[in-house]
Amino acid sequence: MTTSAPLAGKRVLLGICGSIAAYKAADICSRLGKLGADVFVVMTSSATEFVGAPTFRALTRHPVLVDLFDEPLSDRIAHIDLAQSSDIVLVAPATANIIAKLATGIADDLLSTCLLAVPTSTPLLVAPAMNTVMLEHPATRANMTTLTERGVEIITTGYGVLACQDIGYGKLADVDEIVNAVRIRLSTHDDFKGRRLLITAGPTREPLDPVRYIGNRSSGKMGYALAEAAVHRGASVILVSGPTALEPPAFVKIVRVETAEQMLEACMHAAPTCDVVIGAAAVADYRAASVASKKLKRNSTTSLTVELLPNPDIIATIAARRAVGQFIAGFAAETDDIDVNAARKLQSKGLDLIVSNDVSRPDAGFDVDTNAVTLHWPDGRSEALPLQSKRATAEAILSCIAAAIAKHNLP
For the stretch 218-242, pLDDT in tens is 999 999 999 989 988 889 999 999 9
**SS3 annotation, the chain:** CCCCCCCCCCEEEEEECCCCCHHHHHHHHHHHHHCCCEEEEEECCCHHHCCCHHHHHHHHCCCCECCCCCCCCCCCCHHHHHHHHCCEEEEEEECHHHHHHHHHCCCCCHHHHHHHCCCCCCCEEEEECCCHHHHHCHHHHHHHHHHHHCCCEECCCEEEECCCCCEEEEECCCHHHHHHHHHHHHHCCCCCCCCEEEEEECECCEECCCCCEECCCCCCHHHHHHHHHHHHCCCEEEEEECCCCCCCCCCCEEEECCCHHHHHHHHHHHHHHCCEEEECCECCCEEECCCCCCCCCCCCCCCCCCCEEECCCHHHHHHHCCCCCCEEEEEEEECCCHHHHHHHHHHHHCCCEEEEEECCCCCCCCCCCEECEEEECCCCCEEECCCEEHHHHHHHHHHHHHHHHHHCCCC
- pLDDT value, residue 75: 66
For residue 6, tell me if it sits in a domain.
no
Shared domain check, 233 and 163 = no
Note every long-range contact of 322-325, with CB atoms under 8 Å and residues 24 or more positions apart, other chains counting: 322/271, 322/350, 323/271, 323/272, 324/411, 325/275, 325/410, 325/411
In the residue annotation, 267 being an active-site residue is answered as no
> 175 and 33 in one domain?
yes
Amino acid letter for position 23: Y
Same-domain check for residues 15 and 138? yes
2 pLDDT band, cuts 50/70/90, is very low
Q: Residue 191 in contact with residue 233, Cβ under 8 Å?
A: yes
Asked if pLDDT for residue 364 goes beyond 90, the answer is: no
CATH number, position 59: 3.40.50.1950
Q: Are residues 150 and 224 in the same domain?
A: no
* pLDDT at residue 368 greater than cutoff 50: yes
Nearest to 98 by CA among 72, 74, 134: 134
Residues 28 and 55 occupy one common structural domain: yes
Residue 5 lies in a domain: no
Domain that holds residue 24: 11-187
Task: Examine residue 1 and state whether it is found in any structural domain, yes or no.
Answer: no
Q: Give the C-alpha separation, 342 to 361, whole Å.
A: 17
% of the chain at pLDDT higher than 90 = 70
Residues contacting 106, CB < 8 A, separation 6+? 100, 112
215: pLDDT confidence band, cut at 50, 70 and 90? very high
Most confident segment among 272-281, 302-311, 384-393, 401-410: 272-281
> Residue 342 belongs to a domain with what CATH number?
3.40.50.10300
Q: Residues of the chain with pLDDT > 70: what percent?
A: 97
Residues constituting the chain: 411
Rounded to 10°, the helix 22-34/175-187 angle is 40
Nearest Cα to 251, choosing from 181, 148, 99? 148
Q: Which of 187, 218, 248 is the last residue of a domain?
A: 187
Same domain, 264 and 305: yes
Residues 360 and 397 occupy one common structural domain: yes
Once rounded to an integer, what is the mean pLDDT over residues 171-185? 88
Please, are residues 355 and 397 in contact by the beta-carbon 8 Å criterion?
A: yes
- Domain assignment of residue 122, yes or no: yes
Which among 164, 267, 274, 400 is annotated as catalytic? 164
Distance of CA 137 to the CA centre of its chain: 23
In this predicted structure, what is the pLDDT of residue 34?
93
CB atoms within 10 A of CB 90: 28
Residues 209 and 183 in one domain: no
Is 299 in the same domain as 215?
A: yes
Q: Reply yes or no on whether the pLDDT at 280 is more than 90.
A: yes
Q: For residues 263 and 287, state if they share a domain.
A: yes
Structural domain includes residue 218: yes
Residue 3 has pLDDT above 70, yes or no: no
Confidence of residue 162 (pLDDT cuts 50, 70, 90): confident
The reply to whether 228 and 108 lie within a common domain is no
Q: What is the pTM of this model?
A: 0.70
What's the whole-number mean pLDDT along residues 46-74?
A: 90
Does residue 1 have a pLDDT over 60?
no
Answer with the one of 163, 187, 211 that is the final residue of a domain: 187
The predicted model gives 265-274 an average pLDDT of 96
Tens of pLDDT, residue by residue over 246-262, are 888 878 999 999 999 99
Residue type for 109, please? D
**Is 3 part of a structural domain of the chain?**
no
Q: Quick check: is 226 in a domain? A: yes
Q: 187, 213, 230 — which closes off a domain?
A: 187
pLDDT > 80? residue 164: no
Instruction: Give the number of domains in the chain.
Output: 2
- Residue 2 is assigned to a structural domain of this protein: no
Q: Are residues 47 and 175 in the same domain?
A: yes
The per-residue pLDDT of the chain, averaged, comes to 91
Q: Are 224 and 197 in contact (CB under 8 A)?
A: no
